[in-house]
Structure 1
Amino acid sequence: MQGKTTTLSTGKFISKERWGFTNKLRNKLRLITEKNCKLAIDLVEQKIEDAYLELSRNNKEVTLFEVKNKLNGKTAKLGDLDILKLFKKHNDYFKKKYEAGERSKASLQKYNRAKDLLANFIKQKHGKTSYKISEIDNQFIYNLESYLKYESSFNYKVGISHNSVIKYFQCFKTICFYGIKRNLIATNPFLAYDEKLIIKEAIFLTKAELERIEEKKFSTDRLNRVKDIFLFSCYSGYAPIDVQNLTKENLIKDSGDSLWIKTNRAKTNIKSNVPVLPPVKRIIDKYSHLDENRLLPKISNQKVNEYLKEIADLCQINKKLTHYVARHTFATTVTLGNGVAIENVSSMMGHTTISMTQHYAKVMDSNVKNDMDKLKEKFV
């Protein structure tokens, strides 16, 4: 709340002259009216502190608006909003961002799915079609977790994995933050949920495996196209949705005559600018004849992953290849493995924090050995 201001009335009055004469009521006071004013101000200060402490127990970021509403008795009214109505407000807003090209279709689908899961839980476990945010407590939250993990169903599959549950709860938290920022609610009850993702080791290709795919010539055009799209991602770090959206307008030449691919990630709308490496340039040149404005042929992510299984078999790679393995390969083998600083890798991948990059980027043993060899020389 630093730097923010608002006003509250004590209901008391003092003239401008007496306010200045008493040094804003800091001097010793003799008049009853001035003593009453000082008492009223002290009382308001105490109420502000109490309101802030109470609100901060459930919310890390307390706004002046929340404190003022708490003092004016409006907080309870804000908390009466139905969580599913708030979800709809957010998702309608997010849909506009998707239609404007600022967010991905997959992210919109995730929020709609999260809303459906929450609605199913409320209906099945509470027999309701609505639920006030003010009534969401820890028991509700952890019963919801249990329901998602062991009882919810989708496409005939019962239960959701731990990491997927964590991501749905991130959606629930985001919805409430949306409401707080728009003065629709006062607190975020889902902050009580603090489970962590189980970080699995990212699958990536070694330099030898990457070269094996590059050197392999396939007998069908479909496999050769998917191979090129996959290698493009390996050497640029772009996710599947971003590769599909790249056009010739994204190809920029800087003042030093170097080529860059410049765009914003569809998932987060975060800037992701990557210099064009020689393998990427060769692939772009190969498809420069396309009638469309695209850099690469358009193939669905589902088909890409399906054909990558064939490519893995034909190249004798004993790993489950998906388009995202290419992104991991860029982070590890292509960049970190060749000494690129993790800060620069993070920027190219469109991450907002280094910790996000560390999830993708495995520090390779060869890097550790090289650094330790340099260190050994200092102790000879």
Structure 2
Amino acid sequence: MIKTFFYLKTDKQNSKGESSIYAKIQLKGKTTTLSTGKFISKERWDFTNKLKNTLRLNTEKNCKLALDLVQQNIENTYLELSRNNTDVTLSEIKNRLNGKTAKLDDLDILKLFDKHNDYFKKKFKAGERSKASLQKYNRAKDLLTNYIKKKHGKASFKISEIDNQFIYRLESYLKYESCFNKKVGIGHNSVVKYFQCFKTVCFYGIKYNLITINPFSIYNEKLVIKEAIFLTKAELERIEKRKFSTDRLNRVKDIFIFSCYSGYAPIDIQNLTKENLVKDSDDSLWIKTNRAKTNVKSNVPVLPPVKRIIDKYSDLDVNRLLPKISNQKVNEYLKEIADLCNINKKLTHYVARHTFATTVTLGNGVAIENVSSMMGHTTISMTQHYAKVMDRNVKNDMDKLREKIS
């Protein structure tokens, strides 16, 4: 909680021999100071125990009242800022108290987006963020620009003017009116992710003291977790055993199977090189890398199907582990593979990643903590929705319990 202490700054005095009273504000172990605009002599400050004793002089009573108002204003400012941002800083509080807030929050939301996206582009060029994430933020800015232009008739919009009506009208516009590639409307989960972009951009502004509030914090819609599509053991074996008549289908099959037994996402597979293959002290082979999307470490032991595929493409002219095929082409050819293998599921590259999480690992008793680590998830909750669909694990555990009870 925020605390305020008053002290006398005695290095300078006014013409009456009085010193300035300052407020020392303390929050989360950090402090800052603020002038109260009030003066008093050191003798009277000490005599009245910092104006805490019973006061008899009207000037001192008025001074005490003014200090009480300063303290109340500091606490009210902290509570107001906390409603929009749980990580309020002392600089934000001081800016608000000094009347700098209006100037800060008059920043145009689209200009703030430009600042954030320029910063994110540097992180992408440094290899710290993925190209897909950068494209997502650029797309979010375009959607916001279109909304402001079509619904408000403006080319810009001040952050201080963004209210609840603006936010929920924006949500409605994205869901039912926005148009992209001749498709009208955006699905619920995509809208929630775009709002996550809006929030992140404003948190960036707060972090760099460009603004003091995050108007998008009021938006609290959640992602609707859909049941992940994955292959059963029988379906996976059906694809593994199938030999196709064309090289393109065989290459896509290899990339897909590689992902089924390693858990790597499409963008990560494209970036894998021979340097990512590492042997440990036990002479076991690992693929060690950081996920492009989150920059989180993702180390996976090389299983036999993965080793066979790596060996198959060991003579590639380039340094990559696997042939490079665009994710769009992979998904296009996977449709053919699904038809040829009599698999009645919408087969995409990400189905392989889901298959690794469910059929290959959790379905074979691998601890969820280890699965989460191998998949490069930032939290265990990201992995838990895979575990929910593994009814077989529940059955196996209940069979063991049934034996004990009987």
TM-score normalized with structure 1 length: 0.93
Task: Report which stretch shifted further, 139-148 or 249-258.
Answer: 249-258
Tell whether 2:179 aligns with 1:147.
no
Task: Report which stretch shifted further, 62-71 or 85-94.
Answer: 62-71
Identity of aligned residues (%): 84
Q: Equivalent residue of 1:9, what SS?
A: strand
Q: Number of aligned residue pairs: give it.
A: 379
Q: Equivalent residue of 1:8, what SS?
A: strand
Indicate which of 291, 316, 322 corresponds to 2:348: 322
Partner of 2:247 in structure 1? 221
CA contact (8 A) 2:163 2:215 kept: yes
Partner of 1:236 in structure 2? 262
CA contact (8 A) 2:167 2:216 kept: yes
Q: Which amino acid aligns with 1:206?
A: T
Indicate which of 335, 338, 348 corresponds to 1:312: 338
CA contact (8 A) 1:336 1:345 kept: yes
Indicate which of 166, 172, 179 corresponds to 2:198: 172
Q: Equivalent residue of 2:84, what SS?
A: coil
Partner of 1:358 in structure 2? 384
CA contact (8 A) 1:137 1:189 kept: yes
CA contact (8 A) 1:80 1:133 kept: yes
Partner of 2:3 in structure 1? none
Indicate which of 44, 47, 54 corresponds to 2:73: 47
Partner of 2:219 in structure 1? 193
Distance 1:330 1:28, change over 3 A: same
Partner of 2:131 in structure 1? 105
Q: Equivalent residue of 1:260, what SS?
A: strand
Indicate which of 75, 85, 102 corresponds to 1:59: 85
Q: d(CA) in 1 for partners of 2:42 and 2:284? A: 66
Q: d(CA) in 2 for partners of 1:15 and 1:223? A: 88
Q: d(CA) in 1 for partners of 2:322 and 2:235? A: 23
Q: What are the ranges of 5 or more consecutive residues in structure 1 without an aligned counterpart? A: none
Q: Equivalent residue of 2:94, what SS?
A: helix
- Once the two structures are TM-superposed, the CA of residue 359 in structure 1 deviates from its matched residue by 3.6
Q: d(CA) in 2 for partners of 1:132 and 1:230? A: 47
- Once the two structures are TM-superposed, the CA of residue 202 in structure 1 deviates from its matched residue by 0.6
Distance 1:348 1:16, change over 3 A: farther
Q: d(CA) in 2 for partners of 1:229 and 1:116? A: 34
- Once the two structures are TM-superposed, the CA of residue 104 in structure 1 deviates from its matched residue by 1.2
CA contact (8 A) 1:234 1:334 kept: yes
After superposition, the C-alpha distances for 1:95-138 in whole angstroms (9 at most, x for unaligned) are 11111221111111111111111101101111100000010011
Tell whether 2:232 aligns with 1:206.
yes
Q: d(CA) in 2 for partners of 1:307 and 1:22? A: 87
Q: d(CA) in 2 for partners of 1:6 and 1:87? A: 30
Task: Report which stretch shifted further, 327-336 or 249-258.
Answer: 249-258
Pick 1 or 2: higher relative contact order, CA cutoff 8 A, min separation 6. Answer: 1
- Once the two structures are TM-superposed, the CA of residue 45 in structure 1 deviates from its matched residue by 2.6
Q: d(CA) in 1 for partners of 2:71 and 2:85? A: 21
TM-score normalized with structure 2 length: 0.87
Tell whether 2:272 aligns with 1:272.
no
Task: Please report the RMSD computed on the Cα atoms of aligned residues, expressed in angstroms.
Answer: 2.2
After superposition, the C-alpha distances for 1:315-339 in whole angstroms (9 at most, x for unaligned) are 1111111000001001111111111
Partner of 1:343 in structure 2? 369
- Once the two structures are TM-superposed, the CA of residue 178 in structure 1 deviates from its matched residue by 0.8
Partner of 1:163 in structure 2? 189
Indicate which of 77, 90, 107 corresponds to 1:81: 107
Q: Which amino acid aligns with 2:359?
A: T
Q: d(CA) in 1 for partners of 2:265 and 2:245? A: 27
CA contact (8 A) 1:223 1:307 kept: yes
Q: Which amino acid aligns with 2:228?
A: A
Tell whether 2:357 aligns with 1:331.
yes
Q: Which amino acid aligns with 1:248?
A: K
Q: d(CA) in 2 for partners of 1:375 and 1:13? A: 77
Q: d(CA) in 2 for partners of 1:229 and 1:140? A: 45
Indicate which of 59, 73, 96 corresponds to 1:70: 96
Q: Which has the larger radius of gyration?
A: 2
Q: Equivalent residue of 1:296, what SS?
A: coil
